[in-house]
Amino acid sequence: MPSSAVLELRRSLLDWYHQFGRDLPWRRNRDPYAIWISEIMLQQTQVKTVIPYYERWLTLFPAIATLATAEQQQVLKAWQGLGYYARARNLHRAAKVIVEQHGATFPQDLAAVLNLPGIGRTTAGGILSAAFNQAVAILDGNVKRVLTRLAAIEVPPSKASKQLWELSENLLDPEQPRDFNQALMDLGATLCTPQNPACLICPWSTHCRAYQFNLQSELPMFETRAPIPHKLIGVAVIWNDEGQILIDRRRQEGLLGGLWEFPGGKVEPGETVEACIQREIQEELGIEVTVGDRLITVDHAYTHFRVTLNVHHCRHVSGAPQPIECDEVRWVTLAEIDQFPFPKANVQIIEALRQASNV
DNA sequence: AAAGCGTGGAT
DNA sequence: TATCCAAGCTT
């Protein structure tokens, strides 16, 4: 039997949600497929960023079967710019699993949902509660922050995972799990924000231990983070006599897996950028090039390191390109290149090529 | 179990 | 410019 405090927390949060909850595209239907797509896109990604991708995705891939039969390149192209591309690859794989194992219908069983690639505990709870009103708890970034403050947990959230999950489960309203989970996320996104939380208008302020102790600005505590390295990269835009450019498709695993790129690699200590490019192209593609003028320098920050791409025009001299350290190589024209999914840093290179050639 | 995995926005 | 963080999952 839940305590009266828990009942009061549920009631006050749901009251607030019915007045101030957000109107979001994926809340307008209960189609588990559409909700699944939104949940995956929203992983580590802001609502504002997701909305146009979500709308476009449902036009391109309106049903699970459509997604399952699409080419991976189309899927990655639809994801281009969203980041964390394993999400798109896993979505594609999971769609095939659902077609093969669940008759193209999104499963309603928690264990089956958790078994799908790319779906963890939070995403499973988000889908099952939103689509089917199942009482499955969630613990995303918003909920972690709200609960950390509610209970004044004075260790970084990663050290309190078990406690936070238990809190989320105990608070969850078994009679209105859909609205409750959505409400908890909205509270974190709109009032219980990382900076300057709006405690004065928060429905939970009278129950919040952080507010009670004036700790709301100190919690949650920061996670410790390792400093990120900076890598210098030589990149080649290799031209042939037909005016085509050589691009390669990265391997499925790891950073930017399955995306296309301009070939290149890390500048070794004491090496010039030109020598690096010549060496990398020989090692990765088995061809000889001459390195010409610099096209552009691109600085880009990933999560775990930063890069400076030194991009040079190159001329193909000899040898047929081979996919030695990649999955595929291809000669393309500037007009064709938009069909291929590229990471953001490479899109900047394409834009520079367009400017240079006035297309 | 700590590290790897993108990008855009806010400060 | 540097840093943090946004509906986390996988290995």
- pLDDT (tens digit per residue) in A243-281: 999 999 999 999 999 999 999 999 999 999 999 999 999
- C-alpha span between A115 and A118 (Å, rounded): 9
Q: How many domains are there within chain A?
A: 2
Locus of tokens 């109107």: A23
Establish if A222 belongs to a structural domain: no
3-state secondary structure of A342: coil
Contacts of residue A21, defined as CB under 8 A and 6 or more positions apart, other chains included, come to A179, A182, A183, A186
A136 and A172 both lie in a single domain = yes
Pairing label, strands A230-239, A306-318: parallel
A176 and A281 both lie in a single domain = no
Nearest to A123 by CA among A153, A157, A90: A90
- CATH number of the domain residue A56 falls in: 1.10.340.30
Quick one: tokens of A202?
């928060």
| Residues near chain C strand, CB within 7 A | A 22, 24, 26-27, 38-39, 42-47, 84, 86, 90, 117-124, 126, 140-142, 145, 182, 185-186, 188-189, 194, 222-223, 225, 301, 303
| Residue pair A292/A256 in contact by the 8 Å Cβ criterion | no
Q: Identity (one letter) of the amino acid at A260?
A: W
Range of the domain at A134: 4-212
The answer to whether the C-beta of A195 is closer than 7 A to strand B is: yes
A244 and A348 both lie in a single domain = yes
Q: Is A39 a catalytic residue?
A: yes
- pLDDT (tens digit per residue) in A119-141: 999 999 999 999 999 999 999 99
Establish if A225 belongs to a structural domain: no
- In tens digits, what is the pLDDT along chain A, a chain of 359 residues? 789 999 999 999 999 999 999 999 999 999 999 999 999 999 999 999 999 999 999 999 999 999 999 999 999 999 999 999 999 999 999 999 999 999 999 999 999 999 999 999 999 999 999 999 999 999 999 999 999 999 999 999 999 999 999 999 999 999 999 999 999 999 999 999 999 999 999 999 999 999 999 999 999 998 888 888 999 999 999 999 999 999 999 999 999 999 999 999 999 999 999 999 999 999 999 999 999 999 999 999 999 999 999 999 999 999 999 999 999 999 999 999 999 999 999 999 999 999 887 65
- C-alpha span between A79 and A327 (Å, rounded): 19
Instruction: Using CB atoms within 10 Å of the CB of residue A269, give its burial: 0 to 12 exposed, 13 to 18 middle, 19+ buried.
Output: exposed
Q: Nearest residue to nucleotide B3 when comparing alpha carbons to its C1'?
A: A304
- Work out the angle at residue A291's Cα, subtended by the Cα atoms of residues A281 and A307, and round it to the nearest 5 degrees: 65
- C-alpha span between A97 and A190 (Å, rounded): 36
Taking the CA of residue A308 and the C1' sugar atom of nucleotide C1, their distance in angstroms comes to: 15
